[in-house]
Amino acid sequence: MTTSDRPILTERTTYAPKFKSETFIVPLLQVAISSAIKKYADGGKALDVGCGGQPFRSALEARGCHYFSMDANPTAGVSVDFVAPVDSPLGPEVVGSGPYDFILCTEVLEHVADWPRAFENLARLLAPGGKLVLTAPHFYFLHEEPFDFFRPTLHAFAHFAAKHNLEVLESRPLGDAWDMLGTFLSGCRFQAASESKISRFLAWGLWKLRDFCFRKIQRGNIRRRVHFWGPTYLSNVVVLAAPAV
């Protein structure tokens, strides 16, 4: 499939939940990405890869950055400097405007089929000592299909960082087991398997239980009283640095 085959989306211009399924993951990402921008963006050129509605443009410009945007399928009404997938050959206009002191690539790499090419491009675009902030979900529903390919781990980011001589400055999971359960419940549906009273009653009861549990997790009541953990999480947050010359 080509870039033109990708679905045209109405992307967020502010980083706030738009759907019930985003209740837990989006606020966590907003804090993590904003913190990374404050910590690592310090003027110079910044490239927002997979920029969508450019929700972090103002934050980067407030840090004194000269903002550049890139997207495979730009949102209608949003001006984008470069129209290209991050795993395609880089055009001279992209390379010529770089290198970049700061690159932001958030919630994009799960939609990128060719990770080796994507990391090669990102490393090539980084200025010496430049910082690269990456996020991608580890647990989330299928979305933007058929362009939904991966749910990477922190180990995957470390592997590709090492292959391209990028130093890992930060690498951490976002969201605990309560966040994951709340996200899972937001997408669950129950339907009676037959017209029998018992089936309909069970489906109704499970639906009510789902809503009750979701509200308790959302409000934070239950997590303040009960610790809940497991070997999974919502999203990855990784900050990489190019070697300084």
Name the range with the highest mean pLDDT among 63-67, 76-80, 227-231.
63-67
Beta-sheet strand order (sheet of 44-49):
82-83, 65-71, 44-49, 100-106, 126-137, 235-241, 167-174
Per-residue pLDDT at 53: 93
Tokens of 93: 């206009």
Per-residue pLDDT at 6: 63
Separation CA 207–CA 200 (nearest Å)? 11
Q: What's the mean pLDDT in 68-89?
A: 92
Per-residue pLDDT at 89: 94
The 10s digit of each residue's pLDDT in 205-216 is 999 999 999 999
Per-residue pLDDT at 3: 53
Give the chain's end-to-end CA distance (angstroms, integer): 39
Per-residue pLDDT at 117: 97
Per-residue pLDDT at 10: 64
The 10s digit of each residue's pLDDT in 174-211 is 999 999 999 999 999 999 999 999 999 999 999 999 99
Q: In the structure, what pLDDT confidence band is assigned to residue 219 with cuts at 50, 70 and 90?
A: very high
The 10s digit of each residue's pLDDT in 6-22 is 666 667 788 889 999 99
CB atoms within 10 A of CB 41: 23
The 10s digit of each residue's pLDDT in 93-112 is 999 999 999 999 999 999 99
Does residue 139 carry a pLDDT above 50? yes
Mention every residue, 6+ apart, whose C-beta is less than 8 A from residue 41.
Answer: 59, 60, 63, 65, 101, 102, 131
Contact 38, 60 (CB under 8 A): no
Q: What's the mean pLDDT in 160-181?
A: 97
- Output the average pLDDT for the chain: 94
Phi, psi of 167 (to 5 degrees): -85, 135
Q: In the structure, what pLDDT confidence band is assigned to residue 1 with cuts at 50, 70 and 90?
A: very low
Per-residue pLDDT at 8: 62
The 10s digit of each residue's pLDDT in 18-62 is 999 999 999 999 999 999 999 999 999 999 999 999 999 999 999
Separation CA 160–CA 87 (nearest Å)? 14
Per-residue pLDDT at 14: 85
> How much helix, strand and coil, in percent to the nearest 5, is found in the chain?
40, 20, 40
